[in-house]
Structure 1
Amino acid sequence: MLPSAAAVLEDGDLASEILLRLPPQPSSLPRASAVCKSLRSVASDPGFSRRFRIHHRRNRPLLGFFMGDGDELRFEPTLDPPNRVPQCRFQFPIDASDCSFELLGCRHGFLLMLRTFQGTVQLLVWDPFNGHEHPLAIPPVFSEKTFHGAVLRAAPGVGDTDHFQVVLERTDVQQGVVACVYSSETGEWGNLIATPVPSGGVIHPSKPAVLVGGSLYMLLMRLGGSSRIVEFDVGRQSLAVIPLPASLDSEHSRFYSVMRADGGGLGMVSLSASGGSAQLWKRKTSCEGVDSWMLARTFELDKLIIPDLKSKFFLQITGLAEENNVVLLSSGVGVFMVQLDSLQSKRLPLANLHHWHPFESVYAAGI
């Protein structure tokens, strides 16, 4: 005899398996937990919350954007009701008027920023869900240099640990590209890692690192010459330099961005000179072990966003939500999100996305 629906829901193990398979949208667990006390008990259990985040670690939704520049730090939600996260949900606990901020990166539920407080500059890792702050001293070798940073959860893709890593990178005339990694498990910065860069260059000042697989990628710009991609393998803690696709204009970086390729691996998205079309590139390795770029797909942007866009407005890439493969496009008529897998687009209620960072995470409202 099959058990009744009520009996299934009263079985904590079965109920947790049912809830685990709900989509990771903010409204999923709250709506399901309203069905009965048993489901609410499971959904509100911290152990289940951790399981739910681990289960959906590869498809975290794009909740919105954080902006941190000057004395302002705020969250701007972008999902539609009932999944829209209230703007007041993520309030920075310190009065921003007492500090100045520069947001460096946002990943795996953490924010990394430079904070200047009472004349002292420090790194700060902030968890907006629980409000925990982790101030970090800047390594002496980076303290008086312009550098770029990224934060990521320790052992990304393995589990939902509370530990994190911070990666700092900068360019140096003698050493090329140098990097250093902080681990919250040890509470220490690791050794300096370096790789030479022919003809020099600087890491792009306004493009955050993109995490693809287990590596962070940043654009290395060289005025008057070919730009490159800097690859930092987080697990191996090694640096490498990769060329761009030959057809890309390396001096106009606002028209392209590193991304995750279809099926995994390193990819790029680029805009045509007119801005009316986009190209998706993929890094391939031949049977002989030779790496090269191939053009994987081309699509028309004016058909996705606004008819005749390429003849009326100027488009440029202002950011990328790496886990959702969403490219952010700024134009004379606003900001648009384009999901590169489904080619679905949405206009955002924002004037521009300067200094905005996508926030991709699993969040259940009211649980």
Structure 2
Amino acid sequence: MLPSSAAAVLEDGDLASEILLRLPPQPSSLPRASAVCKSLRSVASDPGFSRRFRIHHRRSRPLLGFFMGAGNELRFEPTLDPPNRVPQGRFQFPIDASDRSFKLLGCRHGFLLMLRTFQGTVQLLVWDPFNGHEHRLAIPPGFDKKQINGAVLRAAPGVGDIDHFQVVLVSTDVQQGVVACVYSSETAWGNLIATPLPSWGKIDPSRPAVLVRDSLYMLLLGIGGPSRIVEFDVGKQSLAVIPLPASFDYGYGRSCFYSVMRADGGGLGMVFVSAPGGSAQLWKRITNYDGVASWVLARTIELDKLISHSLKSQCCLHITGLAEENNVVFLWSGFGVFMVQLDSLQFKRLPLTTMHRWHPFESVYAAGI
């Protein structure tokens, strides 16, 4: 039974919403608070408050789990422990698992982006797993559908409806180099954007794009030349091509050992895992006073000591996913799959053994609300 003074405060809808707004964005936070009284439950279940809560925690979205989708398998794997664990069967997929004509390109801001062949036509599918909404998009002209990568992202707070989203497609063209196009759920596809390539390469469709600040980064695998990074500035809608750190192995089949990431301080970074998996190098892109950009080695993590002594010099660690907002890298080895938080160095072993491309799902979700 609540004291009368506390009950009076909670009866004030404005005060109650301000209290709930400041709860941590874990899935169990709002359901637990809403069980206190009817007033709190009324506020927590209001769609308007749900939007405020999502916006308030847009920079602290928890890692709920990850999706895996390609070929004949599509599923969600939770990573949080109870009471925050999201049930594996929480999401009803828009594509049947027996449909082999789809590929999951990535997850971001509560959306999934898929590439699918439907009735002989290659199209994009944007899916909101929480409410089941689907958006089917035709691929604009000028894209090699076999060498295409894409990213979905929600509109910035204060810009239209928060359910407004954008899709960025990137590919390569023999004549134009790297090409990109942006879809807006408010204005449809924009104009084709292009930038030349210093040497030929192809966008790696198996590596999801990484969002760092206002730019998306994708790997460009070199063919007869070095691999590089494609940068797409979402705000300016401009393309650039950036070299990898000079000491990286540029082999076409070696991209499973490195990934773009957010560096300390929020800038562009790279993580490189040695083979066999004994250490991880964290690189950072810096710009000097003259405006010249270069890579520096920020720190080295001894993974064999952190995860397990049995990893030392016995197997290769492959990067199979990266949660950009939480700075968590997913590593696969012959011994299983590991999550490593690159800032705190906390790690967790997942009950998985097969090597797949994992798409981390970072979002604000209130179970049962």
Q: TM-score range by the shorter chain?
A: over 0.9
How far does the alpha carbon of each residue in 1:188-230 deviate from its partner, in whole angstroms, 9 at most, with x for none? 2111111011111111231111010111001111145321111
- Do the aligned residues in 2 keep the contact of 1:103 with 1:355 (CA within 8 Å)? no
1:214: which partner in 2? 214
Report the AA paired with residue 335 of structure 2. V
| Aligned counterparts of 1:254 and 1:270: Cα–Cα separation in 2 | 9
**Runs (5+) with no aligned partner, structure 1:** none
Q: Does residue 293 of structure 2 align to residue 291 of structure 1?
A: yes
RMSD of aligned alpha carbons: 1.9
Who is 2:11 aligned against? 10
CA separation in 2, counterparts of 1:147 and 1:95? Answer: 23
Residue pair 2:28, 2:367 contacting (<8 A) in 1 also: yes
Runs of 4 or more consecutive aligned structure 1 residues displaced over 4 Å after TM superposition: 156-160
For residues 55-96 of structure 1, what are the alpha-carbon distances to aligned partners after superposition, in whole Å with 9 as ceiling and x for unaligned? 100011111111221243221111111111111111114544
Structure 2: distance between partners of 1:157 and 1:169: 27
Return 95-104 or 337-346, whichever deviates more. Answer: 95-104
Q: Is the 8 A contact 1:70 1:102 kept in 2?
A: yes
- The separation in 2 between residues aligned to 1:156 and 1:201, in whole angstroms, is 36
| Deviation string, structure 1 residues 274-310 (Cα, Å, up to 9, x no partner) | 3211111111111111111111111211122112422
Q: Is the 8 A contact 1:216 1:234 kept in 2?
A: yes
Give the distance between the partners of 2:160 and 2:269, measured in 1 at CA.
Answer: 25
CA contact 1:73–1:101 (8 Å) conserved in 2: no
For residues 77 and 157 of structure 1, do their structure 2 counterparts lie closer, same or farther at Cα, with a shift above 3 Å needed? farther
Alignment of 1:1-367 (within 5 A): 4-97=5-98, 100-142=101-143, 144-155=145-156, 161-186=162-187, 188-251=188-251, 252-367=254-369
How many pairs align?
Answer: 365
Which deviates the most, 200-209 or 89-98? 89-98
Moved more, 241-250 or 52-61: 241-250
| Contact 1:58/1:157, CA 8 A, preserved across alignment | no
Post-superposition shift, 1:157? 8.9
User: Displacement of 1:315 after TM fit?
Assistant: 0.9
Residues in 2 aligned to 1:262 and 1:157: alpha-carbon distance in whole angstroms? 27
In the superposition, the TM-score normalised over structure 1's length comes to 0.94
* AA matched with 1:312: Q
* Aligned partners of 1:218 and 1:231 also within 8 Å: yes
State the distance in 2 between where 1:36 and 1:157 align. 32
Gaps of 5+ in 2: none
Amino acid at match of 1:247: S
